[in-house]
Amino acid sequence: MKEFVISTIVAFVTAVGVISSATAQEGNVEAGKKIFRKCAACHSVGENAKNRVGPVLNGVVGRPAGSFAGYKYGTGVQAANAKGLIWSREELFKWLASPRNYLRDYLDDRKAKAKMAFRLKDEQQRRDVIAYLETLDGPPVSDEKAADITHGNTPFNPTMGSVGSGADPLDGLERVRQELVLPPFAPKHNQVAKGGPKVVEVELVVEEKKWVLDGDGTEIVALTFNGSIPAPLIVVHEGDYVEVTLINPATNLMEHNIDLHAATGALGGAAITTVSPGEQTTLRFKATKAGAFLYHCAPEGSMTPYHVTHGMTGSILVLPRDGLKDDKGQSLTYDRMYYVGENEFYVPRDENGDFKKYEAAGEDLDDWIQSMKTLIPTHVVFNGRVGALTGKGAMKAKVGENVLFLHMQGNRDTRPHIIGGHGDYVWETGSFSSPPLKDQETWFIRGGSTGAALYKFRQPGVYAYLNHNLIEAVELGAAGHVVVEGEWNDDLMKQVYIGPIK
């Protein structure tokens, strides 16, 4: 009890800055402010701070643990609060090194859990960030209007788009729910639209989960839409309304949102869809442009490339209402479609050069940001892991079939090629209002886009479909197979002779 009172007083005095000389010895406020950028992925501070993945940290030094109004703390922090824990400088120093281990010790409970999956190992960095936290004033006055803008300085007024006032202008339109399927497959759809524009409902549930990247068992805690990498393909027609419901289950640890390149305004939806664990959001946008597009999570700052390089990228195909066309405006149809998502990963290594493993989403944040800034990926793969599209997972087709390949890369340029085949028609940028290129050998997919290529298979056999940076294909994983059945055509190719030199 005595200790409790003293630490409260010390913390209080420190918080108001009376013994600031001691603060200077311990940690550097300016350095701490920079380090806080890492914390800002989950915590906000300052005047309009609101609870996000983690609670508001204004005035946290000297505050009872688990006490910020309106934040849903985990059971561990709640128990610590009941036990009288006050966030003194010393306690924070231990907490930041490993929140989970800290709670296990403090509560003397081996099963105690912390919702904060982030660790700051470096002692000086911990002192610095605590020094910075000490400069922050107490809790902000709650300002609900200001608190709603979660993403940059978008001019979006949250009341403008709110549904519920008056009649819904889309009441007359047919509503359909699209059941999304696992890549490399496409959901059921018509190539030529039937009837007028519809409202197409899709549901994306964010799953943070362990994910193995290769045959060596290299593992990350992936961030996914619906549990797959890439995220599922959505297919609609130009003029349709797309209603995306994004669910972030309470068991997750991070905030997520969605930026759809097919949408117009509010950062593609990212500005108005950020959801914390335990929340969901529904966004409706009109698909005004025909093409193949990327969608991805885009929380803020470093968190955007962090989430994108943890698997949160997918594609939406917006078909022209009357289907695909060649360069002369003649209809083109496909017999099958495959959706190839290319993702690159930057798995951090330990002192021995071995890949590190982490237990929970966000735990690798610091290491991963360092590693992704090298721009040297450790893995470049199709469908989330090395070999996902070979062997049992190989794509299949028959001689004479037209196959539409969508190729998505959320972050980095790539160059698909079919070894032994071509791109008969290629919409390199994904735009269907521009005429397709014809008879391409290799096509270019800009990082941040989805392109489309149509090819009629004319010979049976196993084709490699790969990123024609062959180092990335062979050494890092960016390769798949297409197994094609049918009759061999000697006119197109014949082995005339092979054997000893004649």
Instruction: Provide the binding-site residues for Cu ion, judged by CB under 5 A.
Output: 223, 256, 297, 307, 312
Indicate which of ligand HEC, Cu ion, none lies near residue 59 (CB less than 5 to 8 Å, by partner kind).
none
Of 98 and 378, which has the nearer Cβ to ligand HEC? 98
Tell which one of 49, 129, 266, 473 touches ligand HEC (CB under 6 A): 129
Tell which one of 7, 38, 269, 445 touches ligand HEC (CB under 6 A): 38
Q: Give the separation between CA 328 and CA 325, rounded to whole angstroms.
A: 7
Indicate which of Cu ion, ligand HEC, none lies near residue 262 (CB less than 5 to 8 Å, by partner kind).
none
SS3 content of the chain, % helix, strand, coil (to 5): 20, 25, 50
Of 86 and 453, which has the nearer Cβ to ligand HEC? 86
Phi-psi category of residue 36: left, alpha or beta, with phi > 0 → left and psi -120 to 50 → alpha: alpha
CB of 309 to Cu ion, least distance (A): 11
Its sign, for the CA torsion 138, 139, 143, 147, is positive
3-state secondary structure 233-271: CEEEECCCEEEEEEEECCCCCCCECCEECCCCCHHHHHH
92 scored as a contact of ligand HEC (CB under 6 A): yes
86 scored as a contact of ligand HEC (CB under 6 A): no
CB of 206 to Cu ion, least distance (A): 6
The stretch near ligand HEC (CB under 6 A) out of 20-28, 109-117, 187-195, 450-458 is 109-117
Indicate which of Cu ion, ligand HEC, none lies near residue 60 (CB less than 5 to 8 Å, by partner kind).
ligand HEC
Subset of 353-372 contacting ligand HEC (CB under 6 A): 362, 365
73 scored as a contact of ligand HEC (CB under 6 A): yes
Active-site positions? 256, 259, 261, 296-297, 307, 312, 417, 441-442, 468
Tokens describing residue 386: 């090395």
Element (H, E) at 176: strand 174-177
256 scored as a contact of ligand HEC (CB under 6 A): no
Residue in the block written with tokens 């309470």: 250
Q: Which long-range contacts (CB under 8 A, 24 or more apart) does 352-358 make?
A: 355/218, 355/219, 357/219, 358/220, 358/221
Alpha helices in 289-385 (DSSP H): 303-308, 365-372
End-to-end CA distance of the chain, in Å? 98
Q: Which positions lie near ligand HEC, rule CB under 6 A?
A: 38-39, 41-43, 53-55, 57, 60, 65-68, 73-74, 76-77, 87, 92, 96, 114-118, 120, 129, 253-254, 362, 365
